[in-house]
């Protein structure tokens, strides 16, 4: 099932209404792929972006080669290095319209080039593609206004907000910034993160030490290694996605300061309305695509700099150059995000209330095996960074006592279904199947069940959401 998004032309969401359609999507089956009109933009080319690629290929690519258009020169150069490092092919970069750059690659290298597009999030938005195709002048909003809105929640100066074309582009930039300081070291990832946040650390640097369960003796050992200055940076999400676990951020922060190790924290899952993390981190990354927007119709990312960081001067210079003065967000996307953000706090507070209602309901349901929610998982650690007026967020994950019944429950669930989160409407996602389909055994070994269902609880009537869950769970 699904419902129309505010601006269908630029929707980021995709409806995958059955468990079989999820499998068909992951395996690229024609009967599913031919029905998809749009999808998550890093994984599925928007029709307008696809048209832009085709136009560029026709205009500037040689026979047998394809053009992949990137929003700026740095992205095209990064993609070129990535492709040429992975496979031995000849590529070239060509200037394209409106300051954009195209990477020209043989047909055989398209898949590898699109890996870079996916992992880094350095992508052309559908609004940008549409304006180029129509030869229209962009109509946008002032980045200053957006930064003012963001500053109300972060508490940082306007000039310490650096805005990117996607959440992953922000994370990738933060990763490059810390590797620029410590190019010979590995990073440390604490707790099981969003899939591509880990892939970036695995594919672009010197490797990553991954501690998927940051508690007990293993966590104590990791803290000692941080104190000894072993890592280029520590990365974590608070709480994590999809297990909603929160690492002891004050303890990690203190260890990082003792060891001279930058701390990069992502606050996307519960949002800056609920959590205050900047005082503990050197850099905070946020996907503006999610709760900040709430509409599912625009992408954006944010890196917020802690002015008290030991490396504040170096980071500020890096991000200022990387964003050409503070923002890489396309003007039209900035306008959409600025408008969407006006209801940010109100939406998050409603999702907090509904999220807790749903988590409590699932926690008591006889067919439910386990619920992951900050109220129940690592609550002490969550409360250390929770704002006085903050809640637990709108993201809830759960499994069934009889996991094999989850496909039946999912199919019967009368809620929107797709791979994003943070929308004003509730969105159900068989998270592990979508994010880790080709590494399910590995994910399960990290505590993430293949039959886990993640709910991004929206702003509808709470009892209506419970009713939809109750009807579906009757089949469990």
Distance CA 349, CA 355 (A): 10
> In what side-by-side order are the strands of the sheet with 101-106?
65-70, 101-106, 92-95
Do 289 and 350 belong together in one domain? no
> In what side-by-side order are the strands of the sheet with 263-266?
161-164, 301-305, 283-287, 263-266, 234-237, 187-190, 208-211
Question: Does residue 3 register a pLDDT over 60?
Answer: no
Residue pLDDT, tens place only, 391-422:
999 999 999 999 999 999 999 999 999 889 99
Residue 243, domain member (yes or no):
yes
Report pLDDT for 15: 82
Residue pLDDT, tens place only, 227-275:
999 999 999 999 999 999 999 999 999 999 999 999 999 999 999 999 9
Do 37 and 93 belong together in one domain? yes
Report pLDDT for 11: 46
Q: Which of 268, 199, 210, 209 is nearest to 238 (CA)?
A: 268
Do 365 and 309 belong together in one domain? no
Do 327 and 270 belong together in one domain? yes
Residue 348, domain member (yes or no):
yes
Distance CA 467, CA 444 (A): 30
Do 448 and 469 belong together in one domain? yes
Question: Does residue 48 register a pLDDT over 50?
Answer: yes
- Average pLDDT estimate for 194-201: 96
**End position of a domain, from candidates 341, 359, 394:** 341
Record the pTM: 0.95
Report pLDDT for 38: 72
Question: Does residue 79 register a pLDDT over 80?
Answer: yes
Q: Which of 162, 161, 173, 186 is nearest to 78 (CA)?
A: 173
By DSSP bridging, strand 263-266 and strand 283-287 are parallel
* Minimum mean pLDDT range among 15-19, 118-122, 284-288, 351-355: 15-19
**Residue 350: strand pairing partners:** none
Do 336 and 359 belong together in one domain? no
What is the DSSP code string of 378-393?
SHHHHHHHB-TT----
Q: In angstroms, how far is CA 329 from the centroid of its own chain? A: 16
Residue 398, domain member (yes or no):
yes
Write the CATH number for 450. Answer: 3.90.1150.10
Burial class (CB in 10 A: 0-12, 13-18, 19+), 139: exposed
Do 361 and 314 belong together in one domain? no
Distance CA 239, CA 310 (A): 25
- Burial string for 411-420 (b: 16+ CB within 10 Å, else e) reads eebebbbbbb
Do 291 and 311 belong together in one domain? yes
Tokens of 136: 């229209």
**Residue 75: strand pairing partners:** none
**End position of a domain, from candidates 341, 366, 386:** 341
Q: Which of 32, 92, 34, 33 is nearest to 68 (CA)?
A: 92
Q: What percent of the chain has pLDDT over 70?
A: 97
Q: What percent of the chain has pLDDT over 90?
A: 89
Do 298 and 152 belong together in one domain? yes
Q: How many structural domains compose the chain?
A: 3
Residue for token pair 């980071």: 315
Distance CA 236, CA 42 (A): 22
- Average pLDDT estimate for 441-462: 97
Supply angle C-alpha 114, 432, 412, rounded to 5. Answer: 115
Do 160 and 172 belong together in one domain? yes
Residue for token pair 């150069």: 77
Write the CATH number for 307. Answer: 3.40.640.10
Distance CA 259, CA 253 (A): 10
Do 107 and 154 belong together in one domain? no
Residue 437, domain member (yes or no):
yes
**End position of a domain, from candidates 341, 362, 387:** 341
SS3 content of the chain, % helix, strand, coil (to 5): 45, 15, 40
Residue 441, domain member (yes or no):
yes
> In what side-by-side order are the strands of the sheet with 368-372?
368-372, 395-400, 453-456, 427-429, 416-417
Tell me the residue range of the domain where 84 lies. 8-134
Residue 3, domain member (yes or no):
no
Residue 2, domain member (yes or no):
no
Report pLDDT for 64: 92
Residue 395, domain member (yes or no):
yes
Report pLDDT for 39: 74
Distance CA 13, CA 40 (A): 6
Do 173 and 72 belong together in one domain? no
């Amino acid at each position: 099932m699904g419902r129309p998004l505010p601006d269908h032309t630029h929707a980021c969401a995709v409806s995958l209404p059955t468990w079989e359609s999820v499998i068909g999507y992951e395996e690229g089956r024609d009967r599913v792929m031919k029905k998809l009109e749009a999808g998550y933009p890093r994984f599925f080319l928007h029709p307008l972006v696809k048209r832009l690629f085709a136009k560029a290929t026709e205009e500037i690519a040689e026979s047998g080669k394809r053009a992949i258009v990137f929003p700026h020169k740095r992205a095209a150069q990064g993609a070129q290095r990535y492709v040429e490092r992975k496979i031995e092919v000849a590529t070239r970069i060509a200037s394209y319209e409106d300051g954009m750059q195209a990477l020209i690659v043989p047909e055989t290298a398209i898949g590898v080039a699109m890996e870079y597009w996916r992992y880094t999030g350095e992508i052309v938005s559908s609004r940008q593609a549409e304006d180029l195709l129509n030869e229209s002048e962009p109509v946008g909003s002032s980045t200053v206004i957006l930064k003012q809105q963001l500053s109300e929640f972060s508490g940082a100066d306007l000039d310490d907000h650096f805005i990117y074309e996607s959440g992953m582009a922000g994370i990738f930039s933060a990763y490059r910034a810390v590797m620029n300081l410590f190019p010979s070291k590995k990073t440390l990832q604490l707790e099981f993160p969003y899939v591509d946040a880990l892939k970036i650390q695995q594919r672009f640097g010197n490797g990553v030490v991954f501690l998927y369960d940051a508690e007990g003796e293993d966590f104590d050992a990791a803290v000692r290694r941080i104190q000894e200055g072993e890592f280029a940076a520590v990365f974590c999400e608070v709480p994590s996605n999809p297990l909603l676990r929160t690492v002891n951020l004050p303890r990690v922060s203190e260890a990082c300061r003792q060891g001279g190790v930058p701390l990069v924290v992502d606050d996307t899952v519960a949002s800056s309305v609920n959590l205050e993390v900047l005082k503990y981190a050197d850099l905070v990354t946020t996907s503006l695509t999610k709760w900040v927007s709430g509409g599912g119709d625009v992408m954006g990312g944010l890196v917020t700099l802690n002015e008290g960081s030991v490396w504040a001067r170096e980071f500020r210079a890096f991000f200022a150059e990387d964003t050409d003065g503070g923002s890489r967000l396309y003007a039209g996307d900035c306008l959409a995000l600025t408008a969407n953000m006006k209801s940010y706090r109100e939406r998050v507070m409603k999702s907090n209330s509904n999220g807790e209602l749903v988590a409590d309901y699932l926690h008591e349901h006889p067919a439910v095996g386990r619920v992951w929610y900050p109220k129940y998982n690592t609550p002490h650690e969550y409360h250390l960074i929770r704002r006085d007026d903050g809640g637990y967020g709108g993201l809830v994950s759960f499994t069934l006592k009889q996991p094999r019944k989850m496909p039946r429950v999912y199919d019967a669930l009368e809620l929107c279904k797709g791979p994003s989160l943070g929308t004003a409407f509730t969105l159900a996602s068989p998270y592990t199947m979508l994010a880790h389909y080709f590494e399910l055994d590995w994910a399960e070994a990290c505590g993430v069940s293949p039959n886990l269902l993640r709910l991004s609880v929206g702003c509808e009537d709470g009892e209506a959401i419970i009713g939809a869950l109750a009807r579906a769970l009757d089949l469990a």
